[in-house]
């Protein structure tokens, strides 16, 4: 199991309804995209961090380990805005307003990523997928997603064991050996994926599979107090952003 999935299953908000956490997390994400980068995205990031490290109870080290990957994509996406191609200054030159545009994009995307992580750190996928059928998503689509989600952990475990076996047999000592081990890893994982899928199909057929996976969904009741508090937080961030924007302008 991935660390973020383990954190979601042991979260303080594990028993809360997924819709409550979706309103809060995705609401903060939308606010980061729609509000002005300064000071809107900064306030959204601060509010999201406060919720993650406070009421949600996410460990700072776990949050950083998960956040650094999307943050790297945010930085990579902002860097091209610093340059322009063609023009009087040469084939490649610094863009006149490149730093401002790059900074705005970085603020928006990094704050929006925190909102998504808030939902991911508090809501297991296994709690969300079965409820999508009630939201109108076709049941076969949900079943395929649920099976792929569950089998992915088995494949990740197989890949980890294969890599450990290769390392124990000095399969990573040289560059050539590393490439051979990588090719063997891909081939073995490919074969095991088909083997797992065949065994899963046989198991479902033996249990009378009729086209629908029936799973137990943990009971959860919507908390209107939580929804009201989430709405108040989003409204407060929006109002503070508009006030500070007028002051700075």
Tell me: the pLDDT tens digits for 66-91?
Answer: 899 999 999 998 888 888 777 666 67
Is residue 147 within 8 A of residue 201, CB to CB? The reply is: no
- Per the omega criterion (within 30 degrees of 0), is the bond before 181 cis? no
What's the rounded Cα separation, in Å, for the pair 121 and 60?
12
Q: Which residue stretches of the chain are H helix?
A: 3-9, 18-34, 42-53, 60-78, 98-122, 125-128, 139-168, 175-206, 224-248
What local confidence, expressed as pLDDT, does residue 249 receive?
64
**Higher-scoring residue by pLDDT: 208, 35:** 35
What's the rounded Cα separation, in Å, for the pair 50 and 102?
25
Mean of the per-residue pLDDT values of the chain: 84
What's the rounded Cα separation, in Å, for the pair 87 and 74?
27
Does the pLDDT value for residue 235 go beyond 90? yes
Residue 213 binned pLDDT confidence (cut-offs 50, 70, 90): low
Tell me: the pLDDT tens digits for 158-200?
Answer: 888 888 888 888 888 888 888 888 888 888 888 888 887 788 7
What local confidence, expressed as pLDDT, does residue 16 receive?
87
What mean pLDDT comes out for the span 16-41?
Answer: 90
């Amino acid at each position: 199991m991935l660390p973020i999935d383990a954190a979601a299953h042991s979260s303080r908000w594990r028993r809360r309804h997924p819709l409550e956490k979706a309103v809060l997390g995705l609401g903060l994400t939308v606010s980061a995209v729609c509000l002005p980068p300064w000071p809107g995205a900064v306030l959204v990031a601060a509010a999201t961090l406060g919720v993650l490290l406070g009421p949600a109870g996410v460990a700072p080290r776990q949050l950083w380990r998960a956040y650094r990957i999307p943050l790297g994509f945010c930085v990579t996406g902002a860097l091209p805005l610093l340059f322009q191609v063609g023009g009087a200054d040469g084939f490649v030159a610094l863009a006149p307003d490149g730093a401002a545009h790059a900074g705005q994009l970085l603020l928006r995307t990094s704050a929006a990523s925190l909102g998504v992580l808030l939902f991911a750190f508090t809501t297991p996928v296994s709690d969300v997928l079965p409820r999508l059928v009630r939201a109108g998503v076709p049941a076969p689509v949900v079943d395929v997603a649920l099976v792929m989600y569950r089998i992915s952990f088995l494949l990740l475990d197989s890949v980890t064991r294969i890599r450990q076996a290769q390392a124990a047999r000095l399969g990573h000592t040289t560059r050539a050996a590393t490439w051979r081990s990588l090719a063997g890893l891909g081939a073995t994982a490919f074969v095991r994926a088909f083997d797992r899928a065949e065994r899963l199909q046989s198991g479902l057929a033996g249990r009378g599979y009729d086209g629908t996976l029936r799973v137990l969904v943990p009971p959860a009741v919507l908390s209107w107090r939580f929804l009201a508090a989430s709405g108040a937080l989003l409204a407060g961030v929006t109002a503070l952003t508009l006030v500070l924007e007028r002051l700075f302008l």
